[in-house]
Amino acid sequence: MGIVGTISLAEALREDHSFDTLFIPGGFGMMPLVWDLMLLQQIGQLVDRAPNVFTVCTGSILLSATGRLDGRQATTNKRLYDEVTPKHPGVKWQKRARWVHDGKFLTSSGVTAGIDAGFAFIANTYVAPEDRQAHPETQKVGLRGDATPIPGYSREKALKFTRMTAFGLEYRWHSDPADDPFVDLPPSDGS
């Protein structure tokens, strides 16, 4: 499963451009970005305009630095969890979770949890081609991070498509976000 950006940051920031999903990847290299106030402001603008926001790993830390996750449940990378989550006390951090879906926000912990969250994202947003044709209107942006209905969405069709996609990739989707064997990892110093 690949994620390919369809517009640049500069294009996305233009008011005349619309998009349905903001994806914020993570990784240890992004941690210095939580101090880049201009980037955080730009991400915040995009979050406000996006009907869906999906983060992987420490991408949720970057999102939380914008203040847009305050009052919401979220998760992040388990290796850094105890170190970084206290710096963002407005977020209702969930340690035992491969991913958390709260309103328009879907946050995942590590990279493989991001794969499982990606399948959860498909299950929550996929619209069959025939239903897209019958419902060409776009998804609205929710107030204060609320989820909004997706025109033409069918839970049954989305789950069927998600399961077929996972099977086609020979991947076993861990569809229970609370099934998180990595929450009890030993400290990263090996002790």
Residue given tokens 């025939």 in the structure block: 130
Residue 68's CB: how many other CB atoms inside 10 A? 23
Q: What's the whole-number average pLDDT of the chain? A: 90
Between CA 125 and CA 143 the distance in angstroms is 18
Give the pLDDT score at 182.
Answer: 82
Residue among 24, 47, 57, 115 flagged as catalytic: 57
DSSP annotation of 37 reads H
The least confident of 22-31, 83-92, 99-108, 156-165 is 22-31
What would the mean pLDDT of 137-145 be, rounded to a whole number?
A: 87
Give the pLDDT score at 2.
Answer: 59
Q: pLDDT tens across 32-88, in order?
A: 899 999 999 999 999 999 999 999 999 999 999 999 999 999 999 998 899 999 999
Q: Tokens standing for 161?
A: 């498509």
Q: Domain residue spans in the chain? A: 9-163
Pairing verdict, β 52-55 and 21-24: parallel
Between CA 106 and CA 175 the distance in angstroms is 14
DSSP annotation of 30 reads G
In this structure, are residues 63 and 55 in contact, taking their beta carbons and an 8 Å threshold?
Answer: yes
In this structure, are residues 21 and 109 in contact, taking their beta carbons and an 8 Å threshold?
Answer: no
Give me the CATH code for the 9-163 domain, please: 3.40.50.880
Q: pLDDT tens across 129-140, in order?
A: 999 999 999 899
pLDDT at 190 over 60: no
Q: pLDDT tens across 160-187, in order?
A: 999 999 999 999 999 999 988 888 766 6
Please report which confidence band the pLDDT of residue 104 belongs to, taking 50, 70 and 90 as the band edges.
very high
- Sign for the pseudo-dihedral over CA of 91, 96, 99, 102: negative
Catalytic annotation on 57?
yes
What would the mean pLDDT of 13-25 be, rounded to a whole number?
A: 87
